[in-house]
């Protein structure tokens, strides 16, 4: 008879070389997913009955759950989260960049802020560095409001260029990390003045980026923790996921309630895919290998930069 007591198991990060052991509680393994799926069903009914979207709009967005699965898988293996997938995909589909940003923060507020955070608390809460999350998310949320209301950018060209240059920098750091094996760093987290100053800077810059392009604070935090302080990459990744999810809730609320420029039909349809992807993402990462995913992802970021730079600068 199978025991319901917590047992030691391999890390949930999907990295084959990771030797981190975590306690897994086998009781109610799918309880959260079932509750979340029920809650999504209620939201769908409410939105349809309220006339916020039409059934035809949802039918036309049939492919969005697939995008959610892919973004959730990327979020499990890269320091960029799902935003690096959502923004360019929405622009490619013809969604205006400002609405693409609204969609990105909306998807991540639920996907990383709710689904991702709960899953990591359940699976490996010791990987979350609470002081790093609290400091960075508070400053980042305030900085995102500065980007939206005080120093707004509404023209599509600078938004796309900002995203592409940030993506290129992220790709460079991904290749650097693979070459120098930053994933093997294991320095402990120490919350001192130097750490506070760095986290404050990350919160300010990353929060502005979240307001402008719907991502950035997660990758910035991962870079700071692994490069300057040599924090374990698994802890840095999980902490950045939670931080991004909490930070995204602020601009998401603004886009949903104030500016009302969130494409609700696309946002709703991507959420089931994110929920499902959060469950199968680690398995896919384990099967494919984190280094392969990171390498392919870095190449895609470089290609996206070259395409956007050519279109927006050379051919503009």
What secondary structure does DSSP assign to the chain, as a single string?
----S-EEEE-TT--TT---EEEE--TTTTHHHHHHHHHHHHHHHHHHHTTSS-HHHHHHTTTHHHHHHHHHHHHHHSTT-THHHHHHHHHHTT--HHHHHHHHHHHHHHIIIIIIHHHHHHHHGGG--HHHHHHHHHHHHHHHHIIIIIS----HHHHHHHHHHHHHHHHHHHHHHHHHTGGG--BPP--SHHHHHHHHHHHHHHHHHHHHHS--HHHHHHHIIIIIS-B-HHHHHHHHHHHHHHHHHHHHHIIIIIS----HHHHHHHHHHHHHHHHHHHHHHHHH-HHHHHHHHHHHHHHHHHHHHIIIII--
User: Residue written as tokens 């693979």?
Assistant: 178
> Buried (b) or exposed (e) across 73-100, using 16+ Cβ within 10 A?
bbbbbbbbbbbbbbbbbbbeeebebbbb
On whether the CB atoms of residues 142 and 289 are closer than 8 A, the answer is no
Is the alpha carbon torsion for 288, 290, 291, 297 positive or negative? positive
- Residue 202's pLDDT is 97
> Buried (b) or exposed (e) across 212-249, using 16+ Cβ within 10 A?
bbbbbbbbbbbbbbbbebebbbbbbbbbbbbbbbbbbb
- Residue 247's pLDDT is 97
On whether the CB atoms of residues 242 and 116 are closer than 8 A, the answer is yes
Tokens of 112: 């990383």
In the chain, where the domains are located: 62-314
Rg of the chain over all Cα atoms, to the nearest angstrom:
19
Tokens of 160: 């796309």
pTM for the whole structure: 0.86
- Residue 1's pLDDT is 46
Phi, psi of 16 (to 5 degrees): -65, -35
Q: Which residues, in sequence order, are CB contacts of 175 under 8 Å at separation 6+?
A: 295, 298
- CA distances for 299 relative to 233, 260, 314, angstroms: 21, 35, 21
* pLDDT mean for each 10 residues of the chain (316 residues): 52 54 56 87 92 90 91 71 85 91 94 85 86 96 97 88 90 83 71 93 96 93 90 86 94 96 95 86 68 79 85 74
- Residue 195's pLDDT is 94
Reference 75, options 209, 244, 213, 204; nearest CA is 244
- Residue 2's pLDDT is 47
- Residue 184's pLDDT is 61
- Residue 187's pLDDT is 74
Reference 270, options 52, 83, 14; nearest CA is 83
């Amino acid at each position: 008879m199978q025991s319901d007591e917590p047992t030691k198991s391999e890390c949930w990060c999907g990295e084959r070389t990771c030797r981190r052991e975590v306690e897994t509680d086998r009781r109610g393994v799918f309880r959260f997913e079932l509750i979340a799926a029920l809650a999504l069903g209620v939201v769908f009914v409410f939105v349809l009955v309220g006339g916020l979207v039409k059934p035809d709009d949802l039918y036309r967005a049939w492919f969005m759950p697939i995008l959610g699965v892919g973004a959730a898988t990327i979020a499990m293996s890269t320091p960029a989260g799902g935003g690096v997938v959502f923004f360019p995909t929405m622009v490619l589909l013809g969604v205006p960049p400002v609405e693409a940003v609204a969609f990105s923060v909306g998807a991540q507020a639920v996907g990383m802020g709710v689904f991702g955070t709960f899953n990591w608390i359940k699976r490996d809460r010791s990987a979350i560095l609470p002081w790093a999350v609290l400091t960075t998310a508070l400053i980042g949320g305030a900085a995102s409001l500065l980007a939206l209301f005080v120093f707004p950018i509404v023209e599509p060209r600078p938004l796309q260029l900002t995203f592409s240059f940030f993506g290129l920098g992220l790709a460079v750091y991904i290749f650097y990390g693979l070459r120098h094996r930053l994933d093997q760093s294991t320095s402990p987290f120490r919350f001192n003045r130097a750490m506070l100053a760095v986290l404050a800077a990350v919160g300010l810059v990353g929060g502005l980026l979240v307001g402008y392009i719907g991502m950035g604070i997660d990758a910035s935090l991962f870079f700071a923790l692994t490069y300057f302080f040599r924090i374990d990459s698994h802890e840095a990744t999980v902490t950045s996921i939670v931080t991004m999810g909490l930070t995204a809730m602020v601009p998401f609320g603004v886009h949903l309630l104030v500016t009302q420029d969130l494409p609700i039909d696309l946002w709703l349809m991507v959420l089931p895919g994110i929920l499902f992807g959060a469950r199968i993402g680690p398995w896919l990462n384990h099967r494919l290998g984190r280094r392969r995913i990171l390498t392919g992802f870095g190449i895609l970021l470089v290609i996206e930069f070259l395409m956007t730079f050519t279109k927006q600068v050379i051919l503009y």
